[in-house]
Amino acid sequence: MIPEKNTNHLLQIRNIVREYRLPRQQLFGTTQPFRALDGVSLMVNPGESFGIVGESGCGKSTLARTVMALEAPQSGEIIFQGQNLHSVSTEELRRMRHGLQMIFQDPYGSLDPRHSVEQIVAEPLSLLGKITIEKRQELVSTALDNVGLSPADANKFPHQFSGGQRQRIAIARALITKPALIVADEPVSALDVSVQAQVLNLMLDLREQHGLAYLFISHDLSIVKHMTTKVAVMYTGKVVETAPTIDLFNHAQHPYTRALMAAVPRPDPFLERSDRSRTSRSQQLDISPDSTSGSGCSYASRCPFAEDICRNENPVLQNLQTNSAMAASKETEQFVHQVACFRPLDFVSSS
């Protein structure tokens, strides 16, 4: 379902298709296309945190690079603040980038070891035009202070910091232009568990203080549940389910989503026994990507509930009418639970 164009949305992803050419299997053979994104459509509002979840290879990082205009789609539109990122001029795109920044996965590889922290954090300031040295130093000091680092750290180099501190430097670099949206691609997956919570809580505090919107990409369901208010689940380049975060975790409707959740280890055996009735069928599902191609649902060959229609027709996102037990909020009250499935799992509505 392609969303209607709406200037009230900060980011609109409309039916994006991104393909790559696979290597030749034979010397004189032809290259085959691989569709990493297959008609993805999403909307992010100002100030909200929207999660993208799925396994490695489902298209999450490709979506992030496409949203950042680092890669161009074969078809579809990325509308940011009312303008199509892939149809504007190079100069106009450069001007728009100050409102759209990214936090990369690897804090060790994303920071140039030859540059000082001041040079790294100040790099995006070139998008704002010429500024004085004094103003540059002031903005760098403020950005470092916002992420819990000392302004004196500006003269140091990345090798002098821990992984968590390096990611704070990366966050400061993203913040310095005061963006409206930050794309966070697995921002803590390379960090020790002991420091992940610190970085995540910092990001939540910054969102509250600066009115940031996040497109938060992760394969870790517990992090997505903690960080986001809305979630989209991706499988083989498609969005198979979207919902307010609490609704999704309480009432997942797509068999793949339920299987993804059932695959998470449960440290409490009593909780596992009490929840077994809800997940017993899901635990049998295979969540590996389907290598076959066809006109039907990409999950059909691995889904125990698949019917003939699933193998022959491609399901699209459809609204589910629910009475959520969660308290209504400005961020989620207009967001409808949708699932791309001909046979959604038994939905339990609560009054």
pLDDT tens, 173-219? 999 999 999 999 999 988 888 899 999 999 999 999 999 999 999 98
pLDDT classification of 130: cutoffs 50, 70, 90 = confident
Give the per-residue pLDDT at 109: 87
Residue from 172, 216, 179, 13 nearest 96 by CA: 179
Is the model more confident about 84 or about 8? Answer: 84
Q: How far is CA 337 from the centre of its chain?
A: 18
Computed over every residue of the chain, the mean pLDDT equals: 85
Question: What is the greatest pairwise CA distance in the chain?
Answer: 68
Q: How far apart are CA 219 and CA 326, in angstroms?
A: 24
Strands 213-218 and 181-185: parallel
Q: Which of 30-34, 222-226, 324-328 has the highest mean pLDDT?
A: 222-226
pLDDT classification of 321: cutoffs 50, 70, 90 = low
Give the per-residue pLDDT at 295: 77
Average of pLDDT values for 219-223? 91
Q: Angle of helix 163-175 relative to helix 133-146, nearest 10 degrees?
A: 130
> Sheet holding 238-244: strands in order across?
100-103, 181-185, 213-218, 49-53, 230-235, 238-244, 338-339, 318-319
Average of pLDDT values for 232-240? 95
User: What secondary structure does DSSP assign to 84-119, as a single string?
Assistant: ETTTS-HHHHHHHGGGEEEE-S-TTTSS-TTS-HHH
Residues 6+ apart with CB under 8 A from 103: 167, 170, 171, 174, 182, 183, 184, 185, 187
Q: What is the residue whose two structure tokens read 């979630």?
A: 231
- In sequence order, the β-bridge partners of residue 235 are 238
| Lookup: tokens for 93 | 């795109």
Cβ contact 127:177 at 8 Å? yes
Per-domain boundaries in the chain: 8-20+32-228, 254-343
Average of pLDDT values for 227-249? 95
The yes-or-no verdict on residue 322 having pLDDT over 70 is no
Superfamily of 8-20+32-228 according to CATH: P-loop containing nucleotide triphosphate hydrolases (3.40.50.300)
Q: How far apart are CA 248 and CA 239, in angstroms?
A: 13
- Residue 71 has phi, psi (to 5 degrees) of -135, 150
The yes-or-no verdict on residue 108 having pLDDT over 50 is yes
Q: What is the residue whose two structure tokens read 């509002």?
A: 45
Q: How far is CA 49 from the centre of its chain?
A: 9
The yes-or-no verdict on residue 289 having pLDDT over 70 is no
pTM of the model: 0.84
The three-class DSSP label of residue 49 is: strand
The yes-or-no verdict on residue 335 having pLDDT over 80 is no
Average of pLDDT values for 125-134? 87
Angle at 203 between CA 198 and CA 208, to 5 degrees: 125
Cβ contact 97:106 at 8 Å? no
Cβ contact 303:271 at 8 Å? no
Is the model more confident about 109 or about 49? Answer: 49
Give the per-residue pLDDT at 4: 59
What's the pLDDT tens digit per position in 35-78? 999 999 999 999 999 999 998 889 999 999 999 999 999 999 99
The yes-or-no verdict on residue 1 having pLDDT over 90 is no
The yes-or-no verdict on residue 129 having pLDDT over 90 is no
The yes-or-no verdict on residue 275 having pLDDT over 50 is no
Q: What residue type is 103 in one-letter code?
A: I
What's the pLDDT tens digit per position in 137-183? 999 999 999 999 999 999 999 999 999 999 999 999 999 999 999 99
| Lookup: tokens for 164 | 């968590």
Q: How far apart are CA 170 and CA 177, in angstroms?
A: 13
Reading phi first (left if > 0) and then psi (alpha if -120 to 50, else beta), residue 14 is in beta
- β strands within the chain, DSSP E: 11-21, 33-44, 49-53, 75-80, 83-84, 100-103, 181-185, 213-218, 230-235, 238-244, 318-319, 338-339
